[in-house]
Each structure stands twice: as structure tokens, then as C-alpha cells.
Structure 1
Amino acid sequence: MRSLVSLWFPDFPVERFIRGRIKAGRKPPPRGLPFALVERSKSGLRLVAVNAAAREFGLMRGMRLSDARAQLPDLLSEPHEPEEDMNSLLGLCRWMERYSPWVAPDPPDGILFDASGVPHLFGGEARMMAEIRARLAQYGFSARIGQAATIGAAWALARYDAKDLQGLPVEALRIDGTAVKTLRRLGLKTVGSLLAIPRAALARRFRGESIGENVLMRLDEMMGQREEPLNPLNPPTSFMAHRALMEPVIHAEGLEAVLAGLVNLLCRDLERQGKGALRLILKLFRADGSRANLPAGFSVPTHDPGHMLRVLKPKLEAVDAGFGIDAMTLEARETAEAKIQQHGFLADESTLALEQLNDRVANRQEAQFLSLEEAESHIPERAETPRPLAQKPPPAPAPFLAGARPLLVFEAPEPAKVIAAVPDGPPMSLTWRRVTRRVAKAQGPERVAPEWWRLAGGERPRDYYVVEDEQGRRYWLYREGLYGEPGEDQPRWFVHGLSA
């Protein structure tokens, strides 16, 4: 059966404020003295949250600060910081991912998570809940925990005391104040009293347009007759390995041993499903409540534990373990069908080795190898385009029959001076990089016309030649432009590559 848990922090704004002051090295409000957080409203400053000492004097949320000071002149107050509250709540959600990957914030002072199939990893349900409560208390947060088969029931049990769902007050349905007043005016004070009314009558009387007004919808969500989704903070994954440690680990050797176990577990599950990981995230939970996230990516889907471990191990070198790591999680955030490799006799492993080398370089130095892919262009410098090796190749372009190309093509053609017997004839002498070479042999020309859609850029036709000098060195050069073109400059010569 599904097990959903609701954490409620009754004094969250105040406790968050105190924890923030301590972390910033500033003095928090004195313990035992009445304290409140205030915010500005249309009618002046109002109390947003009060501590236990202030509640003992009858102060409560929503009171005007002037009325509270008239009742308690010694009341201490500070401005409310809702943005910091939300940031802290999200931080607690990320911390709670050590217990479940399905964790969602429940603003302004709660957290929801799915604990189905998890408690046995922490010694049982009771020990898990006790551990959560104790750890939160160490960080300065008091929490109440509700556990049930539905989100609505768990939410209600965390906030209201009742032996069963039927004994809960109607406020536990998460409906607005107007609907609560109407129900109580009709004598309907508990969930059990609503369940005794025929559904048709209840639907006719309380079918508000908003979910806070729709009593029947909220009742069905609590009782499990209507599905209520849990939207986790991070997208869930089908492949995850988790390890909770008995004692915090600080040394790199211990972390690497735990990582090796996680990698083996994850790769085993991936291989069983014929999947490979493309993107991983390694989460290290520190004993002080903080967390380190170490992402990793792969060129091709892999479930090779050796390769995965070689990629992840160097990332541990830069991790600050603080007071120790007490839990680790390895998740495959993106997977695909595994690429089956056959190794052994006559097997070509060069491609696989290059892919794995690219993975190690890309994950360690945030750089990656580039490969050249064919592009749809007959202009030599545009006929190939660089592509990251980890990126999927584009569809192959239509084959293009071009002349012989040299082994080395310059990224940018280099200007040269050429002497020919006749203007349109082959080169007889070549001056390039301040050295003059006498041409012994010449082959060409090969006419390469400009791309018509680029004519506005001033491109001109090219005539390519392969020439060989008296020392046997071969050059690939071209003449840009045609003699006698009206309004055009004289043709220019460029060396574009070297032939073997």
C-alpha cells in the first residue's frame, strides 16, 4: 500500500529566522522571551508568526502589532522574510531526498514525500520517523509527522489530533474559511459527519468553483476516492541506488568504496532493463544537513560499472565532506537503449575507447572532443562542421562528388602570389609565406562556383590547382575570380591546403 508522509513545522518562520541568525554569526532573539515576525498590511503591521512564549500571552498570527504591544509591551519583533522561508523550505526538501526521491514542498510550512518501500532501509517505519524528527530537531526545527495512504489524510494527521480520519475536524479538509463556517453552522463539525451525508446532497450544497470551496472533492482526496498527484521537487527516476551510512564518512577512500557499491547496483538494474545511462547525478548528504550534487554525462548510453566509476571518482576529489557524509544517492536522470558492444577476437574497440576517453575529459575538465561531420556545401571550408562527440550526429547529407581533397586543409585560406604563363593558365611560380617556389607540375583547374544564396557577400568563383614544386612538395591552391569580369578586381590567389 502507498505510504505518504506529511511533515509540518508549526513554528517554521520563527525557527528559520533563528537558524538564519545563528548561521550568519548574529545574535538570535533570547530564548524564553516573547518574539514575533511581522509584515506590513493595509491596516499596518501584523503578526505573521509568534514563538511559544508569545502564544502563552495570548498572541496569535494575524493580530495587529499595535494590539499585541498594548497587550505585551515587551514583545520583540523582526520583519518577516518570506523569500528566505521558501529558500529554506526548498533546502529541507533537498535534504529529505536522503529518505525518498519523491519529495515536494508544501508551502508555507510543510513537506510531502512518498515513503513507499523505503522504511526497511532505515530499520523500519518507526525508526525512520524517529530519525527524521531527531535530525530536524538538531537543525532547530520542530516537526509533526502524519502518515497515511493519501496526501489529504497525511496532511490532516500531521496538523490535527485524532484517533482516526472520521474524528478529524472539517478544517482538516484543506478548505477555505467560508466553507468551514458554513459547515459548522449546519452542525457538520467532523469528517465523520460529512461521510454520513449522501454524496448527491453534499455535492449540490458544496460544489464551489475553486478547490478550497469544493468540500466533496477534498473529502474524496482524503478518503482515496480521487487521485491527488504528488509533484516532486526533482523529476523521479526509475534507476536509483541509495546508501545510508551508520557513521559519517570523511576520507576519500571510504567515499570511493561506497560509490563503487552504488555504481554496481545501478549498473545491474540498468543492464537488466537493457538501458544505459546518459546523465547521472551523485548526491552526497552531509551530516550538517547540506548536500553536494555531482552531475556526470556520457557520450553514449552505458551500464559499464568500470567506466562509470572512472568518470565519477575524480569528482569526489573536489568535495568538501565537512563533518562527514552520512548518505549517498546515485540517480540515472536520463537513459536510453544500451549500445551493445562485442569485444574479443577481431573486435574494433577504437571507437569505444575514444567515447570513454571523451567522457572522462568532458566530466573532469568541462571540455570535450570534437568530430568533423559532412555538411551540405561544395565550398571546401564549409563541407565539414565540428560536432561534439557526445552529441547525436545529424542525418547524413546527400552524397556530393567532388575532386580529390588534400590531407591537410587550412581553416582559413592563406594569400599567395602566383606567376602564370597566361592569365588563365596554371601556376609557374608560387610565393607563399615569404618563400618563392618554382612549380614543376600542375594539375587543374577544378571550378568551384559560389553558393548562389551567398552572392550578396561578395563571393566569386574559384579555380583550384594541385601543384608540385621542384622539391616534390605539393600544394592545393586556387584563383579567386575571373579575368575580364566587369567591375571586379583582378583575381587573387590563395593556398588552401597541403597534399601528400
Structure 2
Amino acid sequence: MCIWLPNWPGQRASVAKSQADSGGEPTDSNARAPVGPILLFRRDPRRGNVVAFANQTARRRGVLPHMPLSQCGPLCPEALVQEYQPQQDLEVLVTLAEAAQCFSPIVGLEPIDSEVWAGRSLPEPQGLMLDITGIPDLFGGESRFGSWVRQWFRDRGFLTSLAIANSVGQAWGLANYMFRKSVQDRLLDWENRGSPLATVPDESDAAHEPWIAIAPAEETDTGMFARLPIESLRLDLVTTAKLHRLGIRTVGQLSALPRTALPSRFGDRLLQRLDSLLSGASETIRSLHPSPDLCVERIYEYSTPHRGDVEATIGEHLLHLSGQLKLLDQGALRVVCRVALERNAIELQGVDGDKQRCESSTSTPAGTASVLQISLYQPSYDREHLLWLMQMQLDSPAFQIGDVYWAKGVTTQITMAAPMTWKQPSLFDSDTVKHRDAIAKLVDQLSVRLGREQVVAPVVFSNPAPEWTYAWVPMTGWRRTGEEQETKRKLRRAPRRDYQSESPIAGPSPHHVWRRPSRLLGSPTPLQVTECDEKQLPAIVRYPMANTPVRSLQGPERIETGWWYGAMQQRDYYRLQLENGAWIWCYWDYRQKAWYLHGIFD
């Protein structure tokens, strides 16, 4: 099964905006307000800010990808303009893929190539692939199963187009191009009027579910695929343009040509993609999780209230799993341990019978368990390191054993793994390079203790407003293929300064007028100017709590923002040296006609 999320960056931005407006609560697509035009831009080194993505409403008004953002103002003055963040799109898509494992144990992102496919403007995944062999019968058939999946995504505010076929190529082509025109029209209607999406029909109409394509089981029946455009073959732009110049628009027209002449003119990939669509040639779905064989389970003969017994069992499991990972030359990225619990039978012996039955039926749900999970930012099969991280979870207040609940079994599973990376040692590694492994392990420990979102690093954005030039993001994330990045690889970047040497960091000198403050305020605060000189510049300011004369002043530095950042900002920044020895960074706001403090030099 292929699940295509059309205009995925726009849908993700729309859902994020709706959740922000509602205080973080998930919103139903039926209750969502119109979103209007959405523009996502990126920084081009030669052309400046250009459009990376435009939704259907913006495209109908003449906005196209790669257009300079400055030309979009007259076309979409009320557009929601944000910086294109492929990392956020990918993380939300991976989160959906992990949650979609309720339908299939094998879920992965759609396969992509290094080159952008025809019909796509971004080289990023915009859909999911599921192996549903034998699963639709549990839901009453393929049509009914597709309805359940589509309703599941709709409850989360996403519009989807589904296809069920015998291979990855067939499912991808049907999902992306079988209903493309009707999906685009519905997206346009949804963006402008906020109209509800089509509801899931009842069981009698399940076979007529819109935007759910089911390929015939017979591989010889290719009539459904012959009507698809050649873009459904996942071809690059150059090959597609050549075929269009020859008048070939559909897969049926292409299949009618002699096969022997195609590789010499268009390459071998064309025949491979054609066989994948027409003949159902098999392709591998790269699941986000490895094989479930990396799992160990132990059921105690008698329930135990001792935390040490659980810790010893987890240690035995990790020893066994570490050996398996070492044979596979892989390391764990995520480990999940499930401790099955049951009520303390000894404690209940003195409880009244009616009270005991009441408590058992209300406060002791079936299948009670405590789930411990650790995530690593560098693949590792070091048993001691994994056990150290798991002990942090065992010591947390959320894991309670010994009083009310006793442990009756432990299951440990490696739910995410990656190949081990090896680096040849250098003869002259500095201390910065030498301790990267230790830093990566420290990041693992802090992430387990504090949470992934609390261990962050700054990322710089190309924004003229100083308060919008950076953001804090987790120290690792997902690649375009869905694989986790490694902390060690990020730390492998050459530092700006080797601390074994005395060479200074390259940058503005302490007396340079363009030097930025070491402490930037989160948001500018009003600065009281008591007296101005003949040029209307500050002569006496109130900082920090008393009037202080200005000894010297350097500036101005003019900073202006574009229309796509909201209300245009025009500021003149100055660096002030005060008589009390303080250096502050302030600006004159032309819109507010006031002075603001924005930074402090240490």
C-alpha cells in the first residue's frame, strides 16, 4: 500500500498552524478554518530568497516554485510565508510512519532518488509505503481496509490518496496519479473555504471510496496502468522531457515502443521503472524498524517485587542482543523494554472481597506494563553503555515496582538499528577530535535523562532581524531516507578553533562596528533615553537602573526586513559605550519611533 500525502509541506505547515492556534491540541479537518495561500521559501546563494513550495491556492494566483519571493507580494499579499524546513517535514512524516504501525509491522517512507522526479518540486518523501500482505482480510477486504487507513489520517487533519497493488511501483503510480486532478481540486476547495473532506462511507459504499485505487490481482491486466502518465514511472526531468518531445504522454504509448531501442536513448532505468509498474517487479520497502528478531522475552515463574531482579534480566537481554548486533555489524539506536506487571496478591489477601473485586475491575487494567525506552544518537552495541542508559529509566519515578505492582515478565527489543560506522584514527588528532566519542555518549545520557527536545544545538537562518536568525533544534534528526543522523558525525565537523593552539577565531575585532553582542535578548526591550545630542542620538540613557552618560557611539547599521516576515521592520543599530563601563546594542525603530535595547557586550 502506498499512502500519498499531496502537498505534504503545505499540509504539515497548515496542521502546525492550526494546532498552534488551538493551543497545541490536535484539530479535526472538518473544524479547521481556511488556510489560504501558503508559501515556503529557501535561501538561494545567487538569487536570494526563492519559493520552495506553494500550495494550490498560491499556484492558482501565479506563484510557482523557484520564483523570487519578492515577486510574490502583489500576487499573494495575505499569504502565510514561512521558511522551508525539510527537517520538520521529515520528522512529522516519520512520526506518522511510526504511528501507522498499527496497520502493518512494516512501514517505511516512499523511496526517493538523488534527482527530483518529474511532477515533484522537492526531493523529499511525501508518502508512506506499507506491506499489508494478509492484513486487509482482518478489516473486511481491501476497500474497507483502505477506508480505515484514510479515516485514520483524516482524524489527524491530513488529506491522503491511497493505492493497493502487488508492488511498490504499481502502488506509488496509482496513489500519485490515479486521482491527481480531483485531489488538487479538493485541496484548493479545502484551502479557500475550509470545507470538510469527504467522509468515510458506510460498509455498503466501501467499494466506491474516493481516492482509494486497488490494482487487479492478475499481473497480466495492465489496462489501469496504461492510462497513467509517464510521470508515474518516477523518471527524472530530462528523461520525461525527451519523451514529451516525442509525443509520448502515457505509459500505454511508451509500452508500445520496441524495448530494445529504449535503453540506448533513455538509459536502463526507464525499463526498470516500466517493468516495476506493468509487471509488478519487486522492490524492497525500507522499514523504519529492523527485523523483530532482535527481541528477547522472559516470563518469571513467580512474580517478583525486587527491582534488582528486573535489572539483572535486562542486563542478560542486552548481553544477548549486543552479541546479535555485533554479528550483524549494527548498533542500536532505540531500545524498548516492556516490564509486564500484576497486582500484589499478598497485599490483597487482607482486603474485603467486594472491595477487592471493585479495585481489580477499576484500577487494574488488563495488560498492565511499564515501558522503558532509550534513544541513542550514535549506533552502539556496547552492553555496558546500553545498560547504563536503561538504569536511568529504572531509577526514574515513573517506574514503580515493589509496592502495589510486581513484575511478572520482561521483554527487551531493539526497535531501531543502523550499521556501525568506523573511522581510521589519525596520527595527529587534537583533543577536540579525540574526545568526540565521549561527547556523543554524553549526548546519549543527557537525551535519555532530559528528553530529546531538551538537548539542542543552534541553527542559523538567513533572516535580517537578529532575533530571528537562529533556532534551537535537537542535536540529531532524520535524513531524507528516514535514517537517524549521528551525533558523532555532526561532531566530526572541523571546529573553528583548535584549543591546543593560540590562533584567534576568525571574525570581527572587538572594536569592529559590525560586531554582534555576546548576549542577545530574546525580544527587544524599550530603552529609556533621557537626553539626546544635536543629532538626536542618545547622550544619556537609563541603564541598568540609573541615568548613565554615553561615552562613545558607533553606528548606524541599517537593518530592514521583507514583507514576507510580516510588518516591515526598519531599524538603525548602534553600539553604545557607557560611562559605567557597559557596552550595549540598541536600535532606533522607525515604525514605533522609539529606542530599544537588543543586546549586551560582555
TM bucket (normalised to shorter chain) is: 0.3 to 0.5
Q: Which has the higher contact order (CA 8 A, sep 6+)?
A: 2
Instruction: Provide the TM-score with structure 1 as the length reference.
Output: 0.45
Instruction: Provide the TM-score with structure 2 as the length reference.
Output: 0.38
* Larger strand percent: 1
